[in-house]
Amino acid sequence: MAAEISEARAALAGVSSEPGASKPDPIVTGSNITRTFGGLKAVDVDKIEIQRGVITALIGPNGAGKTTLFNLLTGFDEPDAGDWSFNGKALAKVPAYKVARLGMVRTFQLTKVLSKLTVIENMRLGATGQRGEKFFSAAFKSLWRSQEDANTARADDLLQRFKLDEKREDFAGSLSGGQRKLLEMARALMVDPELIMLDEPMAGVNPALKQSLLGHVKSLRDEGRTVLFVEHDMDMVRDISDWVIVMAQGQIVAEGTPQSVMADQRVIDAYLGAHHDTDITNIDLAELEQEAEAELAAESNEETPS
């Protein structure tokens, strides 16, 4: 197993660090994907390939279009144009649930646990191919009991691994923010995905938990899964990712190994912001304020009930 991984990593060694570089064994490929909101081009990706069997980090400043790209790839949103495929299967117009069934499962930046279900019920929901979820067999318990027991056993294993076994019977709504992130990740694993896409798995998680989460993410790769994750914490990115893709203003601006990317001037400009080396007193305050407001607006759009 370990040999395989370093093989996968080694394969990346020869890859150029140009944006949209071709990979030797891509699990996801996409080209010319664009998505606009009003006048804003949120995503404008010429080419993207994700290598199989490694951990790829997707980084970029707030509003770069990372979450939007996730939504597009997983069928939660429709692009204005573009093709992309998973394991060679074209995914344009494929609905989100089918994408998940193909083995490409994502989590959400704002966690979506089912707060009025217990933790274990959340987990059981993740299992695929359940007989008891078919309308006509649901009413007869004997038809699905054994399968349900097997799923429960698997769920309990995962809960133990993610240290949630003590919360098994609690309502998911009572979990802390970090625990929700864990639950969501564990639940996604119930689907048994080939590619797991994590949107900011570490946001709001305390340092101690972060370490164990890092371990979990690595163990996913060691199981042979492919991981694509969005993260703002550079330490973590440096720590666990095998490859880094940088987005800014909807475009992929750089790619490469963590070390090379972090040394890249374009990345520093795009990510650390144009202001990072400017004297703070020279910054146009109005402009800053505007930026902050736009961001807040974007964020509360997500939360505003409507």
Ligand X SMILES: Nc1ncnc2c1ncn2[C@@H]1O[C@H](COP(=O)(O)OP(=O)(O)OP(=O)(O)O)[C@@H](O)[C@H]1O
Could you tell me the two tokens for 218? 């690595």
Decide: is 53 part of the binding site for ligand X (CB under 6 A).
no
Could you tell me the two tokens for 261? 């990317």
Beta bridge partner(s), residue 178: none
Decide: is 52 part of the binding site for other proteins (CB under 8 A).
no
- Please tell me the distance from the alpha carbon of residue 95 to that of residue 132, in angstroms, as a whole number: 23
Nearer to other proteins, 134 or 266 (CB): 134
Beta bridge partner(s), residue 256: 244
Number of residues in contact with ligand X, rule: CB under 6 A? Answer: 13
Decide: is 67 part of the binding site for Mg ion (CB under 5 A).
yes
Nearer to Mg ion, 18 or 295 (CB): 295
Decide: is 202 part of the binding site for ligand X (CB under 6 A).
no
Nearer to other proteins, 128 or 249 (CB): 128
Number of residues in contact with other proteins, rule: CB under 8 A? Answer: 58
- Tell which one of 19, 53, 63, 126 touches ligand X (CB under 6 A): 63
Decide: is 76 part of the binding site for other proteins (CB under 8 A).
yes
Q: Which stretch binds Mg ion (CB under 5 A): 66-74, 94-102, 142-150, 246-254?
A: 66-74
In three state form, how does the secondary structure of the chain look?
Answer: CHHHHHHHHHHHHCCCCCCCCCCCCEEEEEEEEEEEECCEEEEEEEEEEEECCCEEEEECCCCCCHHHHHHHHCCCCCCCEEEEEECCEECCCCCHHHHHHHCEEECCCCCCCCCCCEHHHHHHHHCCCCHHHCHHHHCCHHHHHHHHHHHHHHHHHHHHHCCCHHHCCCEHHHCCHHHHHHHHHHHHHHCCCCEEEEECCCCCCCHHHHHHHHHHHHHHHHCCCEEEEECCCHHHHHHHCCEEEEEECCEEEEEECHHHHHHCHHHHHHHCCCCCCCCHHHCCHHHHHHHHHHHHHHHHHHHCCC
Decide: is 132 part of the binding site for other proteins (CB under 8 A).
yes
- Tell which one of 50, 55, 56, 66 touches ligand X (CB under 6 A): 66
Nearest distance from C-beta of residue 272 to other proteins, angstroms: 25
Residue numbers 147-186 binding other proteins by CB under 8 A: 148, 171, 173
Could you tell me the two tokens for 231? 């993260």
Contact code string over 261-290 relative to other proteins, x by CB under 8 A: ------------------------------
Decide: is 259 part of the binding site for ligand X (CB under 6 A).
no
Q: Which stretch binds ligand X (CB under 6 A): 60-68, 95-103, 140-148, 233-241?
A: 60-68
Decide: is 293 part of the binding site for ligand X (CB under 6 A).
no
- Tell which one of 12, 64, 196, 248 touches ligand X (CB under 6 A): 64
Residue numbers 108-127 binding ligand X by CB under 6 A: 109
- Please tell me the distance from the alpha carbon of residue 60 to that of residue 254, in angstroms, as a whole number: 10
Residue ranges in contact with other proteins by CB under 8 A: 67, 70-71, 74, 76-77, 95-98, 100-101, 105-110, 112-117, 121, 124-126, 128, 130, 132-135, 138-141, 144, 148, 171, 173, 187-188, 190-191, 199, 293, 296-298, 300-306
Question: Which positions touch ligand X (CB under 6 A)?
Answer: 37, 40, 42, 60, 62-68, 109, 298
